[in-house]
Structure 1
Amino acid sequence: MTSVASARQLDATVFRGDVIGPADDGYDTHRAVWNGAFDRHPAVIIRCAGVADVIAAVNFATSSGLPIAVRSGGHSFAGLSVADDAVMIDLSPMRGVRVDPQRRTARVQAGVLLGELDHETQAFGLAVPSGVVTHTGVAGLTLGGGIGWTMRHHGLTIDQLRRVDLVTADGSFVQASADENADLFWGIRGGGGNFGIVTEFEFHCVPLGPQVLSGPVIWPMQRSVEVMRFYRDWCADAPDELMTAIVHRKAPPLPMIPSELHGTPVVMVIPCWSGDIEAGESFIRPLRRFGHPAVDACAPTPFVAHQAMFDPSFPAGRWYYTRSCDVDELSDEVIEITAEHSLRVASPLTSFPIWQRGGALARVGDDETAFGGRTAGFTYNITGCTEAAAGFDEERDWVRGFWSALKPWHAGVYVNFLGEEETDRVRQAYGPAKYERLRLLKAKYDPQNVFRLNQNIAPS
């Protein structure tokens, strides 16, 4: 293949990373992404060791005329990190993290995973607000906004972002911050990978941990309506220190769950209190006493352990399908629909969360970043999961039916929870005015839409 041969010449001259073609050892390993439902074959995989490699890879891809897929953590629901007959620019070898505990900053390369960032920051009692599965890539999470377990207390990941280094479509290296290329800095905070390849992030770190008060409180799913109604009223005036998720699923065979519940439908509320533990115990107590829960596993927990809580439910290689939406509130109608559809789940691996919003993330002005939907009440991440192809169509149909039933209450969508969906859904993630502003920014930094294998914003 000519493109692979050309890439090998690049490798022999200016490239420090690895260039892998379809016939090479490691090709199948490095083309694989988290969502096993996608089995794609890039023309060549270019694994970058640093910024110079990224520049060389972008220049090679544009001169060859091949599309570019960018991989950091490879964790997108839509499998956008890899594409057939494309140049896959793999940032995963770039794993450096440097924490400055005096300035409370962290410089993070584009291949770093959330668990690796937590490991470095927690050594100093610090954290960067981030997501909920530790093998998620920092880059993709941040560029979409970054919702997670501390967002009500400390905002989204982008709310602690201070600077980025970025390679544009013409191979130029630029920096963006509030003081330099401020228009680009606005756009990358929520606009995804549309404007270039970010090679390094600088974050402000917040004091956190080492322990949080967290863990699931579980009831049989048949009680979902009463549990969700209680939950809605209980968390309505919650302080910022409390973040919660409601999860419906079949109970996994974990030691904390009695064996007689294994495989049965359950509803759980998972709190994460990131403030004073004693104050958290007091606030969470009514939830733990409501309706005699079957399991109460809420306890002081190391923050890094809490961050990894969902890892067993979302391992790499399983088949995932998701549709997402924000809702303003958990009305009685929304609760009834949620309970009804949750009882129809067939796969024991399907586990879908409803994320509480509000708090600090809602107090940032909507126009301050490209991220859309700061005022939503809750985010539905309706995700079906199977081990492989068997049963996947059934779970996908369940997801679509559930999402459609909620359509009258849709109030936006989180761009990182989009699958392979139509342009209108991307527009809905930002709203019409912000979307047009992003299109103008795209025309400035990527007028040929070189970076289009993403939740794409076409240049105006």
Structure 2
Amino acid sequence: MGNTTSIAAGRDCLLSAVGGHAAHVAFQDHLLYQATAVETYNLNIPVTPAAITYPQSADEIAAVVKCASDYDYKVQARSGGHSFGNYGMALIKVVDEPAGIQMTDSDLVLGLGGENGAIVVDMKHFSQFSMDESTFIATIGPGTTLGNLDLKLYNAGNRAMSHGICPTIRTGGHLTMGGLGPTARQWGLALDHVEEVEVVLANSSIVRASDTQNQDVFFAIKGAAASFGIVTEFKVRTEEAPGLAVQYSFQFNLGTPAEKAKLVKDWQAFIAQENLTWKFYSNLVIFDGQIILEGIFFGSKKEYDALDLEKKFPASEPGTVLVLTDWLGMIGHGLEDTILKLVGDSPTWFYAKSLGFTPRTLIPDIAIDDFFDYIHKTNADTLAWFVTLSLEGGAINAVPADATAYGHRDVLFWFQVFVANPLGPISQATYNFTNGLYDVLAQAVPESAEHAYLGCPDPKMPGAQHAYWRNNLPRLEELKADLDPKDVFHNPQGVQVAS
């Protein structure tokens, strides 16, 4: 689209697609477009979509997709808008950093679709919910927040499902890229609960996909949906909500790098036990001067005590151990509150990277020593940084690696590093610090760099697709060529058409 006539026709097409309701589409020339419509999440990555649409039905989404295809726009759905790379806007392309050349933030932004930007399909109107009381299969809309989902499931027969801990994230992205959380070791990922979807494809058709119909679409949606379509409805299996759990949190104010390293070594040895119960979830949060060991055990206090955590990990001060008998209390009692404060709802400047470690590729002791020596000797150039080591495994790994697009069925725990600056763009010194932390472990365990969690994307990572989808990538690339040969559902680090 290069002339005024075709641009006007494209705008008319989008307006018609949303039923002629002017309030259901916003264009670049609208007043306060960035603040009220774009709502950038990661301020480190500026984006300017061509339009934000707010459809109210699957038919309207299909019409928006047809307009985009006809007028050569790219399309991405935005569910909760929590993408670390602002990929719900689909307007950035990160180039590889040439050897010896430092990239600046301005180098990260390239327009897609010429000057037209991309079309965002905001899913906020899709918050439907119902429960089949005979099967306990729930039907949910992709605009439903995780907090509201918990309430609705619990009120519909004391039901629950796995997902993450941020209550304002919406299901559209979360249920299609993974969905890690405290119950995933028992029940599987959030996407493992998905039994069926309604999805709008690149040819603007609306189809149902499950294990018995459109199986290739279903495979792709469960781990790579942003590259293949827009889900308008999920049918998910649910579980009986637990009625008893023990939540624990211990703080360690350790002085030397060696003391900190010993704690991480002890934690890794504990969670790597082959027979560790799936009821146990653990998260280690590392700051410059403090480490927090926190998590939840879904069982009795007697069973929890048998784990002997307080003796295995003697804290510098008494920890907090709470017995919880209410499911909503278990999921809303501040677990990983530190993470939410830094990368929760408020837009800010931040950057993140991830590595995955398996039972066969644990971190060597010497690399843990080097990791804390690096932290001790290197200036982060920001006070807002932390590292998490999050236990996974269990039921997640019981699913075959090729059953869904999600490609990390062998990961035992994730390493994630987050840096933020509430005052302005991430500095080069902070990028260097972050990359250095990552490199200490990636060089010690090269296999760990073959894993990157799509929910924690690194926009600067070259060849990210291989790390996101691993051995499932070739199949996804072939499906992309079949289902979306024009790359309508473009994502800066999305699945590409097989060449």
Q: TM-score if structure 1 supplies the norm length?
A: 0.89
State whether structure 2 residue 493 is matched by structure 1 residue 444.
Answer: no
* Aligned 1:385-400 pairs, distance under 5 A: 385-389=420-424, 392-400=427-435
The answer (yes or no) to whether the contact 1:249–1:342 under 8 Å persists in 2 is no
Query: 1: CA distance between counterparts of 2:413 and 2:167?
Result: 22
Kept after mapping to 2: 8 A contact 1:413/1:429: yes
Q: Is the 8 A contact 2:139 2:233 kept in 1?
A: yes
The equivalent residue for 1:260 is: none
> Does the CA-based 8 Å contact 2:68-2:488 persist in structure 1?
no
Cα shift readout 1:299-328 (whole Å, capped 9, x = no counterpart):
234123147634323232121101111123
**Residue 210 to residue 120, structure 1, CA distance change in 2 (3 Å):** farther
1:205 Cα offset (Å): 0.8
2:266 matched residue in structure 1: 230
Task: Quickly say closer, same or farther: Cα 1:236–1:55, change in 2 above 3 A.
Answer: same
Unpaired runs of 5+ residues, structure 1, are 251-264
What does residue 259 of structure 1 align with? Answer: none
Kindly tell me: are residues 221 and 52 of structure 1, through their superposed partners in 2, closer, same or farther at Cα, counting changes over 3 Å? Answer: farther
TM-score (structure 2 length as normaliser): 0.82
Q: Helix, strand or coil for the counterpart of 1:415?
A: coil
CA contact (8 A) 2:43 2:425 kept: no
Which of 49, 57, 61 is the equivalent residue of 1:42? 49
Q: Name the counterpart of 2:464.
A: 425
Matches within 5 A, 1:80-119: 80-82=87-89, 83=91, 85-119=117-151
Matched, 1:275 2:299: yes
User: What residue in structure 2 maps to residue 304 of structure 1?
Assistant: 331
2:342 aligns to what?
Answer: 313
Secondary structure of the equivalent of 1:312?
helix
| Counterpart-to-counterpart distance in 1, 2:466 and 2:14 | 39
CA distance in 2, matches of 1:356, 1:421: 26
State the SS of the aligned residue for 2:477. Answer: helix
Confirm or deny: 8 A CA contact 1:144 1:192 kept in the other structure: yes
Shift of the 333–97 alpha-carbon distance from structure 1 to 2, 3 Å rule, reads farther
Structure 2: segments with no counterpart, 5+ residues: 1-6, 92-110, 112-116
Kindly state the Cα deviation for residue 14 of structure 1 after the two structures are TM-superposed. Answer: 5.7
SS at 2:143's partner residue?
Answer: coil
Query: How far does residue 23 in structure 1 lie from its aligned partner after superposition?
Result: 3.5
Which structure 2 residues correspond to residues 244-259 of structure 1 after superposition, within 5 A? 244-249=282-287
Q: Secondary structure at the match of 1:69?
A: strand
- Secondary structure at 2:390's aligned position in 1? strand
C-alpha distance in 2 between matches for 1:386 and 1:71: 24
User: Is the contact made by 1:158 and 1:190 (CA closer than 8 Å) also made in structure 2?
Assistant: yes
Displacement after TM superposition at 1:445 (Å)? 0.9
Contact 1:228 1:335 in 2 (8 A): yes
Structure 1 equivalent of residue 281 of structure 2:
243
Q: Deviations over 1:100-159 (max 9, x none)?
A: 454222211111222221221233332221113222221212211222111111111122
Mean CA deviation greater in 265-274 or 6-15: 6-15
Contact 2:284 2:291 in 1 (8 A): yes
**Amino acid in structure 1 at the alignment position of 2:456:** F
The secondary structure found in structure 2 opposite 1:88 is strand
Q: CA deviation at 1:173?
A: 0.2
Question: Which of 358, 367, 379 is matched with 2:414 structurally?
Answer: 379
The change in CA–CA distance for 1:429 and 1:2 in structure 2 (over 3 A counts) is same
- Measure the CA separation in 2 of the matches of 1:340 and 1:206: 44
How far apart in 2 are the matches of 1:179 and 1:8?
Answer: 34
Q: Do 2:14 and 2:67's aligned partners in 1 also have CA atoms closer than 8 Å?
A: no
Deviations 1:184-213 (A, max 9, x none): 111211123111111111111112335532
Shift of 1:13: 4.1
Q: Is the 8 A contact 2:349 2:426 kept in 1?
A: no
Deviation at residue 49 of structure 1 after TM alignment: 1.6
The aligned amino acid for 1:348 is L
Question: How far apart are 1:7 and its partner, in Å?
Answer: 4.6
Q: Distance in 2 between matches of 1:374 and 1:193?
A: 20
| Counterpart in the other structure of 2:8 | 2
Letter in 2 for 1:167: V
Tell me which amino acid in the other structure corresponds to 2:454: V
5 Å matches for 1:8-23? Answer: 9-10=15-16, 13=19, 18-23=24-29
Whole-Å separation in 1 of the counterparts to 2:18 and 2:383: 49
C-alpha distance in structure 2 between counterparts of 1:198 and 1:403, whole Å? 34
Aligned residues: 444
Does 2:197 match 1:164? yes
Alignment of 1:350-369 (within 5 A): 350-369=385-404
Deviation at 1:175, TM superposition (A): 0.8
State the alpha-carbon separation in 2 of the partners of residues 306 and 441 from structure 1.
42
Aligned to 1:148: 181
2:104 is aligned to: none
Residue 303 of structure 1 aligns with an amino acid whose one-letter code is: M
| Separation (CA, whole Å) in 2 of partners of 1:159 and 1:206 | 12
After superposition, the Cα gap between the structure-2 partners of 1:447 and 1:314, relative to the gap in structure 1 and judged at 3 Å, is same
Cα shift readout 1:145-180 (whole Å, capped 9, x = no counterpart): 222111111111122110011000111001100011
- Measured against aligned partners, the alpha-carbon deviations of 1:232-267 in whole angstroms (never above 9, x if no partner) come to 2333332000111111126xxxxxxxxxxxxxx211
Matched with 1:76 is 83
CA RMSD of aligned residues (A): 2.4
